[in-house]
Amino acid sequence: MVFRLRVSDERGATWLDESRDVVWLCGVHRRKEGCDDDAFAWFAELHGSAQLLPTDDDRLRDDAEAVLRFHKTLTNDLLMLVDAAFADAQHELTTDLGDWLPCRVLVQSGDGLQEIWCALSTRGNDGNFVSEKQRDLLFAELERHLQPVMFEARNDWPSGDVEWWEVVRFGVRQRW
C-alpha cells in the first residue's frame, strides 16, 4: 500500500517497508488536477511499469548508509564519553558505544598535563569480534577530536587488566 504526502502543490508517494523498518519516498511530483502530467497519473504510470517501489540498488544503498549511520553513532558516543572524562578526570568512565561496543576512558592529570587513555573491547556485547578496522577508525576519529596530540598503542591500562581490549594512550597535552 502506497501512501501520499502533500506539501503545497507537490505530492509524494511513500511506501512502508516493514521488513527493513523504513519509509521510502518513492516519488514526488506536482499536482495538476485533470492534466496528463498530474502527480497521481505519474505515480500510476510508475506503478504500472514496476518502477514505483524501491529496487535492489535502493536497498543496497540503504545498507551502505546504515553502516555509515552506525559508525557516526559509535563516534558520537565515543567523543561524548571522552569529553565527559575530561570533566571527571582521574575516574574511569565506561559505556557501550551504540549499545554494542564496550569502551573505557580515563583522563589522568598532573602538573598541568593530561594523558587520555581509551580502550575498545575486541568483542561486542553480542559476543562477536569487532573488526580491527572498525576500532582503528574510531581511534582515528578520537585522534582528530583531540588534535594536536601524540598517541601510542598500549597493552596495559593504568588501573588493571585489559585482556580482550585494544588500548591507546593520547597525550601528553596541556589541559583545555
pLDDT tens per residue, range 17-41: 999 899 999 999 999 887 778 899 9
Q: What is the pLDDT of residue 174?
A: 57
Q: What is the pLDDT of residue 113?
A: 79
Q: What is the pLDDT of residue 175?
A: 46
Q: What's the per-residue H, E or C state across the chain?
A: CEEEEEECCEEEEEEEECCCCEEEEEEEEECCCCCCCCHHHHHHHHHHCCCCCCCHHHHHHHHHHHHHHHHHHHHHHHHHHHHHHHHCCCCCEEEEECCCEEEEEEEEEECCEEEEEEEEECECCCCCECCHHHHHHHHHHHHHHHCCCCEEEECCCCCCCCCCEEEEEEEEEECC
| Average of per-residue pLDDT across 58-76 | 95
pLDDT tens per residue, range 163-176: 899 999 988 555 44
What is the reported pTM? 0.76
| pLDDT surpassing 80 at residue 110 | no
